[in-house]
Amino acid sequence: GVAAELDKISAMEAQISLALEEIGAKEQEAIDSFQKQGGDLKLAIAKLEAARGQVEAKVSPQLLDVYNRTAARSGVAIGVLDGNRCGACRTVIDGGRLIDLRNQAPLGMCPSCKRLLVIA
């Protein structure tokens, strides 16, 4: 009767309590993992920003200005001349434009997308 039903309810409450504890432990593991990954990412970002600062110190202010404006406009500011194509927009650069661009080595500008191009 009633005692048997109460025992079933008590057993069910114990199962629910155990499940809630397991869920809480898994949630805490996920939080800890997320915080560690976030800390690792912040450290990596700080290192990259420091390295970027060292590179920026070696670049002319005019070139840095072109780079920053191009990055703000299109996200990717620099590509590599790949044969006769811009490595960023993949546009074919033909004839005289390609000759002019190669004469600007080691750094030119894509006539199509206006990104900086490293010319080997």
For residues 75-90, give the mean pLDDT. 94
The answer to whether 113 and 91 are in contact (CB under 8 A) is yes
pLDDT at 7: 92
pLDDT digits (tens, 9 = 90+) for 52-80: 899 999 999 999 999 999 999 888 999 99
Percent of the chain with pLDDT over 90: 92
Kindly report whether the global pTM for this prediction surpasses the value 0.75.
no
Instruction: Copy the structure tokens of residue 81.
Output: 């001349």
Length of the chain: 120
pLDDT digits (tens, 9 = 90+) for 94-112: 999 999 999 999 999 999 9
CB contact set of 91 (below 8 Å; sequence gap of 6+)? 85, 110, 112, 113
Cα 95 to Cα 93: distance, rounded to the nearest angstrom: 7
Percent of the chain with pLDDT over 70: 100
pLDDT digits (tens, 9 = 90+) for 4-57: 999 999 999 999 999 999 999 999 999 999 999 999 999 999 999 999 899 999
pLDDT at 74: 84
